[in-house]
C-alpha cells in the first residue's frame, strides 16, 4: 500500500509543477500587437478636442438659462420652510409626555 501512496504523491507533484509552469507562461505572455494607423488615431484625438472646445464655448449660454431656471424654484423652497416651523411643536409633545410620566411616578 505504501507504493500506492508514493505513486499518488508523485502524480500530485507532477500536476502541481505543471500548473506552476502554465501560470508562469500565462503571466509572462505578451499580447500580439495589432497594426494601428497612428495618424488616424491622432486625427481622432484632434477631432475630440475640437468637439470639446465647441461644447465649452456653448456652455456659457446654457449657464444663463440655468440661472433663469434656478430663480423659479426659489419661491418653491419657501413652502417647505413653513412645514419646518410645525416640526418644533411636534418636538414639544414628547417633552410634555415625559413630564406627565414623572408626575405619575411621584
Higher pLDDT, 33 or 84: 33
Grid coordinates representing 42 are 491622432
- How far is residue 19 from each of residues 12, 13, 16, 27, 31, measured CA to CA in Å? 11, 10, 5, 12, 21
Distance, in Å, from the CA atom of 22 to the CA atom of 15, rounded to the nearest integer, reads 11
Place of cell 426659489: 74
pLDDT digits (tens, 9 = 90+) for 46-101: 999 999 998 888 766 555 566 656 655 555 555 555 555 555 555 556 666 777 77
Higher pLDDT, 34 or 81: 34
Place of cell 495589432: 34
**pLDDT value of residue 60:** 62
Amino acid at each position: 500500500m505504501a507504493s500506492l501512496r508514493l505513486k499518488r504523491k508523485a502524480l500530485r507533484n507532477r500536476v502541481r509543477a505543471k500548473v506552476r509552469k502554465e501560470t508562469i507562461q500565462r503571466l509572462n505572455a505578451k499580447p500580439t500587437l495589432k497594426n494601428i494607423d497612428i495618424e488616424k488615431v491622432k486625427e481622432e484625438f484632434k477631432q475630440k478636442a475640437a468637439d470639446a472646445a465647441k461644447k465649452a464655448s456653448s456652455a456659457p449660454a446654457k449657464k444663463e438659462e440655468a440661472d433663469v431656471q434656478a430663480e423659479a424654484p426659489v419661491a418653491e423652497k419657501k413652502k417647505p420652510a413653513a412645514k419646518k416651523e410645525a416640526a418644533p411643536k411636534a418636538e414639544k409633545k414628547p417633552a410634555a409626555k415625559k413630564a406627565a410620566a414623572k408626575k405619575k411616578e411621584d
